């Protein structure tokens, strides 16, 4: 497992800091679609869903509704990443509920 050292700058909770996006299927309002996110973002999305006690699809559907209402809507994957980073910032950088 990789860890942060003086020679690299990624946080110690990132076991593999750079990984290509992984495509997964989700369902929004009864329609299946796919999203490509890096594993770290999938982990954070799974954590958010678990903390709220809802399926990942419910979180993604909420993000989708919010992004569509934006003046200039981003793509869904970008909106998910932005939502997760905003959530992380709001918790003071904690990736867990505690």
- pLDDT tens digits, 9-46: 555 555 566 788 999 999 998 999 999 999 999 999 99
- pLDDT tens digits, 67-95: 999 999 999 999 999 999 999 999 877 65
Enclosing H/E stretch for 19: none
Which residue ranges form the domains of the chain, and what is each CATH number?
A: 22-90 (1.10.3990.20)
Residue 1 in this model has a pLDDT that exceeds 90:
no
What phi, psi does 15 have (nearest 5°)?
A: -70, -35
Give me 34's structure tokens.
Answer: 């796919």
* pLDDT attached to residue 92: 78
Residue 5 in this model has a pLDDT that exceeds 60:
no
Cβ proximity of 45 and 95 under 8 Å: no
Give me 40's structure tokens.
Answer: 């770290």
Within 10 A of 18 (CB to CB), how many other CB atoms are there?
A: 9
Q: What percent of the chain has pLDDT over 70?
A: 77
The Cα–Cα gap between 6 and 62 comes to 40
């Amino acid at each position: 497992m990789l860890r942060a050292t003086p020679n690299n700058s990624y946080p110690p909770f990132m076991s593999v800091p750079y990984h290509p996006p992984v495509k997964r299927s989700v369902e929004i309002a009864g329609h299946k679609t796919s999203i490509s996110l890096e594993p770290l973002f999938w982990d954070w999305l799974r954590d958010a869903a678990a903390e709220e006690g809802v399926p990942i699809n419910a979180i993604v559907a909420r993000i989708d509704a919010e992004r569509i209402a934006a003046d200039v809507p981003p793509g869904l994957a970008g909106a998910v990443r932005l939502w997760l980073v905003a959530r992380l910032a709001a918790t003071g950088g904690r990736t867990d509920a505690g």
